A and B are shown apart, each in its own frame.
Chain A
Amino acid sequence: MDELFTEGAPIEDTKAPEGPLEECWDKRRFGGKLVNPANRRKLSVIVVGTGLAGGSAAATLGELGYQVKSFCYQDSPRRAHSIAAQGGINAAKNYRNDGDSIQRLFYDTIKGGDYRSRESNVYRLAQVSVEIIDQCVAQGVPFARDYGGLLDTRSFGGVQVSRTFYARGQTGQQLLLGAYQALERQVAAGTVQMFARHEMLELIVVDGVARGIVARDMVTGEIETHTADAVVLASGGYGNVFFLSTNAKGCNVTATWRAHRKGALFANPCFTQIHPTCIPPSGDHQSKLTLMSESLRNDGRVWVPAKKGDTRKAADIPEDERDYYLERIYPSFGNLVPRDIASRAAKNVCDEGRGVGPGGLGVYLDFADAIARLGRDAVAAKYGNLFEMYERITGEDPFDVPMRIYPAVHYTMGGLWVDYDLQSTIPGLFVIGEANFSDHGANRLGASALMQGLADGYFVLPNTISDYLAKGPFEKIGEDHEAVVEAREAVDSRIEKLLSIDGDRTPDSFHRELGAVMWEYCGMERHEVGLLKAIERIRELREEFWTRVKVPGENEEFNQNLEKAGRIADFFELAELMCIDALHREESCGGHFCTASQTPDGEALRDDERFAYVAAWEYTGGAPVLHKEDLEYENVKMTQRSYK
Chain B
Amino acid sequence: MRDVSSVTRSTPVATRPRPKTPSSAAGPLKRYRSSVGRKVVMAVTGAILFLFVITHMLGDLKAFLGREDFNHYSYWLRSVGAPALPHRVFLSSLEAGLVVAVILHIWAAVSLARQARRARPVRYAARPKVHENGYATYVMRYGGVVILLFVIWHLLDLTFGAVNPKGENATPYDKVIADFDPARWYITLFYIVAVILVGLHLRHGLFSAVQTLGWGRQGRYPAIRLVADVTAALVVLGFVAVPVGVTIGVLK
Contact = CB atoms under 8 A, between A and B. Distances in A.
Q: Do A and B bind each other?
A: yes
B5 A29 contact: yes
B218 interface: no
Interface string B45-65: 000000000000000000000
Given A131-B2, A134-B2, A191 B8 contact: no
Contacts of A134: 2
Contacts of B16: 189
A22 to B, nearest CB: 9
A64 B4 contact: no
Contacts, number: 55
23 contacts: A25-B4, A26-B4, A37-B9, A37-B10, A37-B13, A41-B13, A63-B9, A64-B7, A64-B14, A65-B13, A124-B5, A127-B5, A130-B2, A131-B5, A131-B6, A134-B2, A186-B14, A189-B14, A189-B15, A191-B13, A191-B14, A462-B7, A463-B8
Interface string A585-614: 000000000000000000000000000000
How big is chain A's contact interface, by range?
20 to 34
B7 A459 contact: yes
A63 B14 contact: yes
Contacts of B12: 63-65
A128 interface: yes
Interface string A151-195: 000000000000000000000000000000000001001010000
Contact of B13 (A40, A127, A131): A40
A4 interface: no
A131 B4 contact: yes
A421 to B, nearest CB: 13
Chain B binding surface, main DSSP class: loop
Interface of B: 2, 4-16
B29 to A, nearest CB: 28
A131 B4 CA distance: 8
A477 to B, nearest CB: 24
A34 interface: yes
A101 B112 CA distance: 58
Interface string A414-439: 00000000000000000000000000
A60 interface: yes
A64 B5 contact: no
Contacts of A466: 8
Nearest to B7: A462
Nearest to A64: B9
A462 B13 CA distance: 15
Interface string A65-82: 100000000000000000
B110 to A, nearest CB: 33
A460 B4 CA distance: 11
Interface in A1-47: 25-26, 29, 34, 37, 40-41
Contacts of A40: 13
A462 B14 CA distance: 15
Contacts of B15: 63, 189
B5 A463 contact: yes
Contacts of A60: 7
Contacts of B2: 130-131, 134
A446 interface: no
A391 B211 CA distance: 36
Nearest to B8: A34
A130 B4 contact: yes
A37 B6 CA distance: 16
Given A64-B7, A458-B7, 13 more contacts: A25-B5, A37-B9, A37-B13, A40-B13, A63-B12, A64-B12, A65-B12, A186-B14, A189-B15, A189-B16, A191-B14, A460-B5, A463-B5
Nearest to A102: B4
Contacts of B10: 37
B219 to A, nearest CB: 20
A62 interface: yes
Nearest to A462: B7
Contacts of A191: 13-14
A196 to B, nearest CB: 20
Contacts of A62: 14
A124 B6 CA distance: 13
A41 B13 CA distance: 8
A41 B6 CA distance: 20
A466 B9 CA distance: 11
Contacts of A64: 7, 9, 12-14
A29 B3 CA distance: 13
A134 B13 CA distance: 22
Interface in A455-470: 458-460, 462-463, 466
B7 A128 contact: no
Nearest to B12: A63
A638 B13 CA distance: 47
Contacts of A34: 8
10 shortest A-B CB distances, which residue pairs?
Answer: A65-B13, A127-B4, A189-B14, A191-B14, A63-B14, A37-B10, A462-B7, A459-B5, A128-B5, A34-B8
